Every structure is written in C-alpha cells, then in structure tokens.
Amino acid sequence: MQGNTFFDTNIWLYQILTSEDSDTQRKKQIAIQLCLEQNIKIFTSVQVLNEVSNVLLKKFYFEKAKVLDFVNQIVNIAEIIPLQISVTFDGIEIYSKYKFSFYDSLIVASALSVKCCHLVTEDLQNQQVIDYKSHQLQIVNPFKELV
C-alpha cells in the first residue's frame, strides 16, 4: 500500500484489545504493523475516534484515562478528518449508490474527502473499488487470508 490511507475503527481497536484467541492476536500484529508502514500517510476521522471511544468505554469497560491516552496516541499517528456537512451529504449519496450502512458510507465519504487511495477495514468487501466524484478508493481488508 502507498499514499493516503484511511484506517477504520476496527484497525485501531485491534491494536489495543487483548485476547487469548490466536486470530485476534494475528489481527493485532497486522494492525500494529500497518501503523509502522513508511509508504502511507494515515488518516482517520472524528467519527472513528468517537466509535473507538464508545466501544472501549461501553463494551470493554476501559477506564476513562486509558481511553483518553489511546485516543491521543491515534491523534499523534493519524491526520484527523473533522466532521463536515459535505461528508454527510456525500455519505447519503454513497449509501444510496453502494447500499452500505449509513455509518460505513460516512467512513467512505470521509476517506474520499481527503483523496485517500485506500480504506483499511474488515467491514467492507476486500478489494472493492469505490468510484465517486472522479476519485477512486479501494477497500483493503488486511486480515483477509491470501489464498
């Protein structure tokens, strides 16, 4: 992968969550390695920061200080895309065209808003290309087993 790359919520979560499960451990290592890649500029959005915080606080019962520390780590690694009304309108169009969930459509719209080449997530179809407003975005599931 090269160029501007958007990390979805699950990529960040795998980096902080611990598990005895070997598949989760494998995903954690891959997610950490992605942050160390030299050929990419990492982007994420305020929506993703909010989703990460919500999952850590409500599902995994992390203490506030640990959540704040982790969100600060993300902010130091990635360029954060702010909430914008244009992303909402584009998200509605993407939702209508591609039939993703609305919140996944907002993630796609955020990535497109800063001309990312790749959206790294396990939530959408691996290798799918999104073509919107003369820009293309490829979905990359880094956890997909190569056959």
Task: Kindly report the CATH number assigned to the domain that includes residue 33.
Answer: 3.40.50.1010
Structure tokens given for 30: 């891959």
Q: Find the domain containing 41 and state its range.
A: 7-17+29-140
At residue 144, does pLDDT exceed 60? Answer: yes
Distance (Å) of CA 136 to CA 44, 69, 107, 132: 17, 34, 14, 6
Burial of 46 (0-12, 13-18, 19+ CB in 10 A): middle
Q: What is the pLDDT of residues 81-128, one digit of tens each?
A: 999 999 999 999 999 999 999 999 999 999 999 999 999 999 999 999
The number of domains in the chain is 1
Q: Is the residue at 11 inside a domain?
A: yes
Distance CA 19, CA 46 (A): 27
Q: Is the residue at 126 inside a domain?
A: yes
Q: Is the residue at 101 inside a domain?
A: yes
Q: What is the pLDDT of residues 35-59, one digit of tens each?
A: 999 899 999 999 999 999 999 999 9
Q: Is the residue at 24 inside a domain?
A: no
Q: Is the residue at 146 inside a domain?
A: no
For 1-147, list the strands marked E by DSSP.
3-7, 40-45, 79-81, 118-120, 129-132, 135-140
Q: Is the residue at 123 inside a domain?
A: yes
Q: Which long-range contacts (CB under 8 A, 24 or more apart) does 14-23 make?
A: 16/56, 16/70, 17/60
Structure confidence at residue 146 (pLDDT): 52
Q: In whole numbers, what is the pLDDT of the chain averaged over residues?
A: 95
3 state DSSP class of 129: strand
Q: Is the residue at 41 inside a domain?
A: yes
Share of the chain above pLDDT 70, in %: 98
Q: Is the residue at 118 inside a domain?
A: yes
Task: Using a cut of 0.85, tell me whether the model's pTM lies above it.
Answer: yes
pLDDT band at 1 (very low <50, low <70, confident <90, very high): confident
